[in-house]
Structure 1
């Protein structure tokens, strides 16, 4: 039997503990859990371990304590370094608070380990310089923050899995539960497709084939740098279904169309028309999630008389049809009936 593949899962105070434990147990299950349930001989394929900067219990920001298996100072060669989601507001500040961890990840990669991250764990890889001039992904809500803090990283915010290098030794995964896609990818790569399928079946893991877009918000919080544009955004939040909201908001601003378009794009990152479309589709998403209203009626409610155009725009922005989005996001009836 081949030696199990060592997976070192980083534990720091900023980590989300449920993902650390989930990753650990998922790798532990490969060659073990399915075999045990099916009455087959067990053949563990991975050796997962939780690694910290110092020995002893580590209290995370959510209040959960983690007991690491070893520290980064132990003289142990690892095959895979796994960085889970981090509750941080700055990769640079994380680096200042955890210089030993950042250096250890950099060193492991230099020594030949596969280095992977899920969600905001990619900020650690960026801080280590491993993503410079390379493609990566992170949680959709933190993509702009990563672009601003690490301009050399080519952030693909809609993707679930991104290989940063030709040798595939750096892989980043998108937000939240995309760590399951990353685990399945690694299991398939090192233990074979059948083991990945078995893990998916036992754990009810499902690939996020449509990327992060069906889960992300099309509009985020109001920008505060331009007061006039902020007021226009607030007006559009209530009048998006207007027959021509762009023309109306331009009149309200007192600016020429050309000046308004340039100023709005500079403040929000979107043209006025693109912004209105995103506000309308975001509202349609909320209605789909919370009501049984027919799709055609929702289209009219958010400002689209042309139903075909609405469906086409929805698919382009959300990467799902309205019906598929409703099925994916709607709280099941059996859960709603308990309320």
Structure 2
């Protein structure tokens, strides 16, 4: 019998995540057979949408969704999928505004596996099932996890995380990361051959395990520390100088340890990590928007030793500078304009 799958559909859900997962999971064991082999279809999954009511509503993307089941009357399922959600990357959830949380918390984890795509991992973190395990989510929500869910072993560099392929939570990375989650579910519950066929039918390229090439190392997180705000403003123009962290702390007027503590509290990064992130982001911009050589890019952001710059860039982004330019540089998009 097909495995039963419930995809959460709430006013916060992303339409692309909900319907992308729905289409690919429903098609497993069906579309290849219709389009290519002529074999009798044997669906892997029985998929339905579960939400707060069956009357319908507009989801976070503005698309109308009408769930098949409600949280009050839904049957048990083998798998519950929490898709991407339109949530604040700064503020913790108010459980009273998210009835799905209470419903998820009541699932019997011995019978039902709960997995997530993109920011759906916030729900899993909120009910505690990610405590102590590696998990990923959209990179822009890293600060939220660091502040409110410190027990999650966050791997924002990864595109897919699970401790055990056979049981327990599975989380996938940002936005179109639902494709990797769908591929995992098809491969695990339907077998490798069906996963290969799904990848071919849906043109789901292997993006590798990494989310790092797509993430920004600097995100804007509001805070009320005026001294740190001024330090951030200064370093944004002076990150390439020698020993910028010491100069930034000196300009703040605070003792170095106090400055470092307040800086981390305000930005979720140490001053050293923040400067490194600024340098890498500026290097990315130069690679994407100019024809500067790798040597020139490295020097522009404060690295005179080109081999060291290449190694650092690869370690932080998952790509070499040349690979990054090929993926995100002007030449890729110039023919579209």
Q: TM-score, normalised by structure 2?
A: 0.89
CA contact (8 A) 2:17 2:117 kept: no
Q: 1:4 aligns with which of 2, 15, 20?
A: 2
Distance 1:259 1:311, change over 3 A: same
Partner of 1:221, secondary structure, is: coil
Shift of 1:300: 1.8
Residues 115-130 of structure 1 aligned to structure 2 (within 5 Å): 115-130=114-129
Higher relative contact order (Cα pairs below 8 Å, separated by 6+ residues):
2
Deviates more, 1:179-188 or 1:204-213: 204-213
CA contact (8 A) 1:15 1:61 kept: yes
Distance 1:79 1:314, change over 3 A: same
Write the distance in 1 (CA, Å) between the matches of 2:145 and 2:273: 23
1:51 aligns with 2:61: no
CA contact (8 A) 1:181 1:206 kept: no
Segments of structure 2 that go 5 or more residues without pairing to the other structure are none
Per-residue CA deviation, residues 270-322 of structure 1 (Å, 9 max, x unaligned), is: 44343222211110111212233321221122222211111111112112211
Distance 1:203 1:275, change over 3 A: same
Distance 1:282 1:10, change over 3 A: same
Question: What does residue 242 of structure 1 align with?
Answer: 241
Question: What does residue 30 of structure 1 align with?
Answer: 28
Question: What does residue 327 of structure 1 align with?
Answer: 326
Residues 1-339 of structure 1 aligned to structure 2 (within 5 Å): 3-41=1-39, 42-74=41-73, 76-89=75-88, 90=91, 92-93=93-94, 95-99=95-99, 101-110=100-109, 112-163=111-162, 168-221=167-220, 224-254=223-253, 260-261=259-260, 263-330=262-329, 333=332, 335-339=333-337
Write the distance in 1 (CA, Å) between the matches of 2:247 and 2:173: 38
Shift of 1:234: 1.0
Write the distance in 1 (CA, Å) between the matches of 2:74 and 2:276: 55
Partner of 1:12, secondary structure, is: coil
Write the distance in 2 (CA, Å) between the matches of 1:270 and 1:139: 18
CA contact (8 A) 2:50 2:74 kept: no
Write the distance in 2 (CA, Å) between the matches of 1:331 and 1:114: 43
Deviates more, 1:244-253 or 1:303-312: 244-253
Write the distance in 2 (CA, Å) between the matches of 1:209 and 1:338: 26
Write the distance in 2 (CA, Å) between the matches of 1:266 and 1:223: 11
Shift of 1:192: 0.6
Shift of 1:164: 5.2
CA contact (8 A) 1:210 1:319 kept: no
Shift of 1:73: 3.6
Write the distance in 2 (CA, Å) between the matches of 1:337 and 1:55: 46
Shift of 1:214: 1.6
Shift of 1:58: 2.0
Distance 1:169 1:265, change over 3 A: closer
Aligned length: 334
Distance 1:230 1:98, change over 3 A: closer
CA contact (8 A) 1:315 1:321 kept: yes
Write the distance in 2 (CA, Å) between the matches of 1:198 and 1:135: 29
Q: TM-score, normalised by structure 1?
A: 0.88
Write the distance in 2 (CA, Å) between the matches of 1:246 and 1:133: 33
Per-residue CA deviation, residues 120-160 of structure 1 (Å, 9 max, x unaligned), is: 11122223332334432221111221232233333232222
Segments of structure 1 that go 5 or more residues without pairing to the other structure are none
Distance 1:291 1:33, change over 3 A: farther
